[in-house]
Structure 1
Amino acid sequence: MHDPVQHATAGAGRETGAKTAHSPDHGHGRGGGGAGADRPGLDGRGRGEQIPRLGGGRTVDARPRKSAQESSTGSPSASVPAASRSPQVITQAPLLLNAESSLSFEKPLRRDDRKGDIRFDCESTSCALESDTSVFVQMFTDEAVSLDECRFLLGGAERHRWPLASVAAGSQICVKHPSGDIALLVVQTKSTALPELAFLMVDMTVWKKAV
Structure 2
Amino acid sequence: MTDRNHKLSLTRQAELLGISRGSLYYEPRPVSEDDLRLMRRIDKLHMEFPFAGSRMMKGLLRQEGFSAGRLHVATLMKQMGIEALYRKPNTSKPAPGHKIYPYLLRKLAVTRPNQVWAMDITYIPMARGFVYLTAVLDWFSRKVLAWRLSVTLETEPCLDALKEAMARYGKPEIMNTDRAASSRPSTSSKR
Q: TM-score range, shorter-chain basis?
A: under 0.3
Greater share of helix residues, 1 or 2?
2
**With structure 1 as the length reference, what TM-score do the two structures score?**
0.18
Greater share of strand residues, 1 or 2?
1
**With structure 2 as the length reference, what TM-score do the two structures score?**
0.20
